[in-house]
Amino acid sequence: MLQFKQDAKAFAGAATTLQDKMNALSAENPETITAAVNALKATRLAYKKIEYFMEYYFKYPVNLYNRAPVYEIEEPYMEFQAPVGLQVIEDLLLDEACFENKKALLEQAATIQSSAADIPAILYGLTVHDGQIAAAIRQELVRIITLGITGYDAPKLKTGITESAAALQAVQNVLRPLLEHDLSPNADSVSKYLDASLAYLTGDVSFDDFDRMAFLTQAALPLQTHLNKWIKNQHWSVDDASLLNDHAPNLFSPGLFKQDSFLSNPKDTGVFIVRLGAALFAEKKLSGNGKRSCATCHRPDKYFTDALPRSIAFNEVDTVVRNAPSLLYAALQHGQFLDARAASLEEQIVAVLGNPNEMNADLKKVAGNINDKAYRKLFRKAFPGVHKDSLVSVATISRAIAAYERTLTPFNAPFDRYIQGDRSAMNAAQIRGFNLFMGKAQCGTCHFAPVFNGLLPPLYTVTELEVLGVPKNGSLTEPLWDEDEGRYGVFKIKFYKGAFKTPTVRNASATAPYMHNGSFKTMEEVIEFYNKGGGTGIGLDQPTQTLSARPLHLSPGEVKEIAAFIVALQDQI
């Protein structure tokens, strides 16, 4: 606690200096910008030294310090959270009109300085125990691996590597006195890989050139493995709110998530319910005309898509509103459909069954279509505790199909084999593509490891939605506005206009065409869209875009290497 108090005091001092440098900004003296930028970097570094503690114990001040520079909506209360904090300062300060932003910069700096100065007060009465600190440290390591080295919260400054070093140094300061005289298993290995990880992070290399793959495989993941084992050996009561399974060695290990993390009903596991769900997934009797099943639009042989921009509608003439996303890893997210309007897989399945454009089933009668001797036998095995009168129902149908869909998380792509030790599983171009994906191209700041979707680390309790400005026609030179309003159709909040859930890029190499409207035919087109700065970058009026409109300056070769990495995310199914 003493070290934290000292570091918190240093953060408050850095915040005061930052406020002074903002006040000194002058269009007549361009050097004041450099001074302000340096003060921002110093303040961010100072914050990273207390991040592990603040993020774990104090949600509100953390929101003031390090919230994303976009409007956030707290559901279900629909409360707006205006952009505030260090990321907002970065956005305003590195803007071409930074001097015009001086008033806003001063307001932001004053908010941070005042809150930082109050940290000693919020510590009053706080009880800290070893299990909490262990959880905080474990979460911080996940934060470094998934967010820190990607530049998630400093995309313009590109200080993610030095900030990750500061955060990990703070972790080492906490652990060192505990490890020095510890003769228990894994203690020496924790110290060894802490040193190795810091050696990577403090090396003389730029953000864009940092070798993230080597850092992970040679240092950070072994550190995580041994740290988790060491914490387990301490027999502490670890108070961890994340969805990660503390028995999984590291972030890319099988069984990473707690078994019940994404289950609506903890009983919906086992071979019989999955077997029933697989049969129902392909069952055409569940549709209104007996011609369609879930597998019509989510074909297993096409990685659970249908390879169409938009699926053919029930009437076999029109199309549905949006592209059919792959169901692989669909279970590992919070919110279903591209606008996240369904809270669970079960809810989504019922909605699809009753949708006139999709399955067009009569929900009052559909269960009767399959209530025969063979199916009743399968249902009895799948739901042994359910009364016979409600055994075959829309509820049990949706539960069974959902149970099957939850098995569609193979994690057996070449990338997974490589990261788990098979160094022949990926080629050099794919490894360079991974480093670009997690670094210069900033893909990893929205497609978070290890699922590479919008499941936000380190707790994985939230799935993010983004406004990208995808054109209707897929053209990057003559783009047309897409009328699809995304999540705005669920909640009439202007910041949700054009907002869609961030899907996984696992198996994206096999699931073209892309985006919610299927407008991009190739992965290279998708990457180039991001390279140009999304909808705003290609000339569309997208005022609420959450994707940065700044070009990424990726070369044609780098675009190909990122696409090559995405091929390495293709599972064997």
- HEC profile for 202-259? CCCCCCCCCCHHHHHHHHHHHHHHHHHHHHHHHCCCCCCCCCECCCCCCCCCCCCECC
Of 405, 426, 443, the residue that ends a domain is 405
* Same domain as 328, residue 457: no
Average confidence (pLDDT) over 502-514 = 98
Structure confidence at residue 66 (pLDDT): 76
- In sequence order, which residues have a C-beta less than 8 Å from that of residue 62 and are 6 or more positions away? 54, 55
* Same domain as 137, residue 115: no
Q: Residue 375 above 80 pLDDT?
A: yes
Q: Residue 51 above 70 pLDDT?
A: yes
Average confidence (pLDDT) over 349-360 = 97
Contact 67, 55 (CB under 8 A): no
The b/e string for 548-568 (b: 16+ C-beta within 10 A; e otherwise) is beeebebeeebbbbbbbbbbb
Angle at 236 between CA 231 and CA 238, to 5 degrees: 80
* Same domain as 103, residue 9: yes
Cis before 513? omega within 30 = yes
Of 223, 254, 285, the residue that ends a domain is 254
Average confidence (pLDDT) over 125-136 = 92
- In sequence order, which residues have a C-beta less than 8 Å from that of residue 546 and are 6 or more positions away? 68, 70, 466, 467, 468, 499
- How much of the chain, in percent, has pLDDT values that exceed 90? 86
Structure confidence at residue 76 (pLDDT): 60
Tracing tokens 């996240």 back to the chain, one arrives at 340
Cα four-point dihedral sign 514, 255, 262, 258: negative
Structure confidence at residue 72 (pLDDT): 64
> What is the number of other CB atoms lying within 10 angstroms of the CB of residue 26?
12
* Same domain as 549, residue 466: yes
* Same domain as 150, residue 123: no
Q: Is residue 260 part of a domain?
A: no
Q: Which residues pair with 499 in a beta bridge?
A: 467, 486
**531-552 tens-digit pLDDT:** 999 999 999 999 999 999 999 9
CA distance 554 to 245: 37
Q: Residue 131 above 80 pLDDT?
A: yes
* Same domain as 190, residue 162: yes
Q: Is residue 443 part of a domain?
A: yes
Contact 429, 349 (CB under 8 A): no
Structure confidence at residue 267 (pLDDT): 87
Average confidence (pLDDT) over 289-294 = 97
Structure confidence at residue 266 (pLDDT): 85
CA distance 389 to 353: 21
* Same domain as 433, residue 399: no
Q: Residue 260 above 90 pLDDT?
A: no
Per the structure, how many domains does the chain have?
Answer: 4
CA distance 70 to 68: 6
Q: Is residue 282 part of a domain?
A: yes
Residue 78's pLDDT band, with cuts at 50, 70 and 90, is low
* Mean pLDDT of the chain, nearest integer: 94
What's this model's pTM, rounded to 2 decimal places? 0.95
Q: Is 92 helix (H, G, I), strand (E, B) or coil?
A: helix
For residue 360, the domain's CATH number is 1.10.760.10
Q: Is residue 375 part of a domain?
A: yes
Contact 497, 482 (CB under 8 A): no
Cis before 450? omega within 30 = yes
CA distance 120 to 123: 5
> What is the number of other CB atoms lying within 10 angstroms of the CB of residue 325?
22
Residue-number span of the structural domain to which 50 is assigned: 1-128
Q: Residue 241 above 60 pLDDT?
A: yes
- Residue 341 amino acid letter: R
Cis before 185? omega within 30 = no
Contact 92, 98 (CB under 8 A): yes
Q: Which stretch of DSSP H or E encloses residue 81? A: strand 79-81
- How much of the chain, in percent, has pLDDT values that exceed 70? 98
**446-495 tens-digit pLDDT:** 999 999 999 999 999 999 999 999 999 999 999 999 999 999 999 999 89
Q: How far is CA 474 from the centre of its chain?
A: 25
- Burial class (CB within 10 angstroms; exposed 0-12, middle 13-18, buried 19+) of 469: buried
Q: Is residue 285 part of a domain?
A: yes
Contact 48, 166 (CB under 8 A): yes
The b/e string for 380-414 (b: 16+ C-beta within 10 A; e otherwise) is eebbeebeeeebbbbebbbbbbbbbbbebbebebb
**417-438 tens-digit pLDDT:** 999 999 999 999 999 999 999 9
* Same domain as 232, residue 205: yes
Structure confidence at residue 238 (pLDDT): 87
* Range from 23-27, 144-148, 517-521 carrying the lowest mean pLDDT: 23-27
* Same domain as 245, residue 276: no
CA distance 292 to 273: 22
| Better pLDDT: 79 or 301 | 301
* Same domain as 137, residue 88: no
| Better pLDDT: 64 or 216 | 216
Structure confidence at residue 75 (pLDDT): 67
CA distance 453 to 507: 12
Q: Is residue 264 part of a domain?
A: no
* Same domain as 441, residue 387: no
Q: Which of 389, 349, 355 is nearest to 371 (CA)?
A: 389
CA distance 501 to 462: 11
Q: Which of 460, 468, 425, 456 is nearest to 569 (CA)?
A: 425
Q: Residue 528 above 70 pLDDT?
A: yes
Of 128, 149, 178, the residue that ends a domain is 128
Q: Euclidean distance between the first and final Cα of the chain, in Å?
A: 50
**295-345 tens-digit pLDDT:** 999 999 999 999 999 999 999 999 999 999 999 999 999 999 999 999 999
Q: Is residue 237 part of a domain?
A: yes
**94-120 tens-digit pLDDT:** 988 889 999 999 999 999 999 999 998
Q: Is residue 265 part of a domain?
A: no
* Same domain as 183, residue 249: yes
Structure confidence at residue 215 (pLDDT): 98
Residue 3's pLDDT band, with cuts at 50, 70 and 90, is confident
- Residue 438 amino acid letter: M
